[in-house]
A and B are shown apart, each in its own frame.
Chain A
Amino acid sequence: MTTADLLGKILQVVMGLAVFAAIVGLLVFFIDRAPKKGRDYWQLVGFLAPAIILLAIGLIWPAIRTTGLAFLDNSGNFSWDNFIWMFTQPAAIRTLINTVIWVLFVPTLATALGLAYAVFIDKSRGERYYKALVFMPMAISFVGAGIIWRFVYEYRAGEREQIGLLNAIVTGLGGEPVQWLQTDPLNTFLLIVVMIWIQTGFAMVVLSAAIKGIPTEQIEAAQLDGTNAWQRFMNVTVPGIRGSLVVVLTTISIATLKVFDIVRTMTAGNFNTSVVANEMYTQAFRASEVGRGSALAVILFLLVLPIVIYNVNILRKQREIR
């Protein structure tokens, strides 16, 4: 890059920002000068329009187009082939099954572990440090986590030195090294462990905050009633944080449905570990089968939709209570 190019680019950025500021300024100016009659209406339109236009360009139109593409074959004719392929090909069916397994295990286990951890460290000494310890994996990207865990599962044949932690332990105990990532169906669960490792921190932080929000009086009253710790947990704590629990569960579910990076970096979908999002990318971009990719995207969308609706409903109800 030459200096002239660089200056040109800087100038472009400055110009862009200036134009943006000018447009926003003008908009605000005109909204302010809107006729008295129906001013509220004009203001509403003025402030909502940019967001709605961007949403339409960036979300609604692509969603419509993807749905359309899902019903086209490679030469652009209408066909059901993409969906037929998805529900008849053993490999594609396996992808759907794997996604179901992911959604069953990751949210429940991550939330359960996060909750247990939050309860155990609650009001303990050094709580902050314990929290940081579990929360830290959240700071690592999924790709980074995938690479780290691939080393954990790394395999070297019997006589060679093990560089994978897990196999080093196994051989240290006198066992034979295992091809962890190739052993189906164990490998899917080993990938799930990575996701749980990342998401437990999130669950723990949110639930810990919710636990602290439970009035002490309730717990003391339960204590006076002669309940043991487990009864207090089940009858006071859990009902008290129900809203947060649902939010955590649904948020992790959505994250799990679209999991892609972990699978792609660790096995690239080989050995029967592929999931819908990974397959979607592979079909659309590597295999140049845009229709198949779009069909998978549509399925993913349909799977996420009920969870999102449920999540929004719960949030709304919570707000009403408050």
Chain B
Amino acid sequence: MAAKLAVFKLASCDGCQLTLLDCEDELLALAGEVEIAHFPEASSAIAPGPYDLSLVEGSITTPEDAERVHTIRTDSRHLVTIGACATAGGIQALRNFADVEEYRRTVYAHPEYISTLATSTPVSTHVDVDFELRGCPVERRQLIEVITAFLAGRKPDVPDHSVCFECKRRGTVCVTVAHGTPCLGPVTHAGCGALCPAYHRGCFGCFSPSGSVNLPALIPLLRRDGLDEDAVGRFLHTFNAAAFDEELSK
């Protein structure tokens, strides 16, 4: 029997699951190998669990989702989180450093209609996760690799060196050394193929901190390249704010 694949969405922009639909060359082949059992964005045929592999996009921001993620876990033989939202809380985790009551009043005329948690947390804070794939959004080839690895019962080949390695491999001139552009490449997880430096800008960390990094050592370099204290703070506080904070406090 074909393995059952499920895709779930929590608080997110849909970009990571769209990346699966953006695998135009592989999509029909993949659909021939697995049963797409739960993927509301792509299909109105929804089969009940248990699922062999569940991909979860998005972070936990409501009491309902905090409950729902336990059901998803129970229903899934393997649970893989995809994207910065699911692995680090995403952009919506900026609320973790603010007064959410005040946010609610700022955005909504009737804050009392809005049910939300004061934090946006990764899925792994709530349930066990078998693998975390980073990126905002995840990278297409890495996503296919993770799915095929789980279906084949092997470990995904997703390296955790930094973006710097990918710049070297791509032959991109270092933007920090050559142009003094502030760049988080040295401390950011590889995966994007060192996209930003190839487009003449510094990395802003959308793939989360990489495994073994020395983030504090990079801060003086960011200062040298023209960022004041506030700007350094904002630079680290975008799509993976909580993960970078954790690195800093290590």
Judge: A and B partners, yes or no: no
List residues of B whose CB falls within 8 A of some A CB.
Answer: none
List residues of A whose CB falls within 8 A of some B CB.
Answer: none
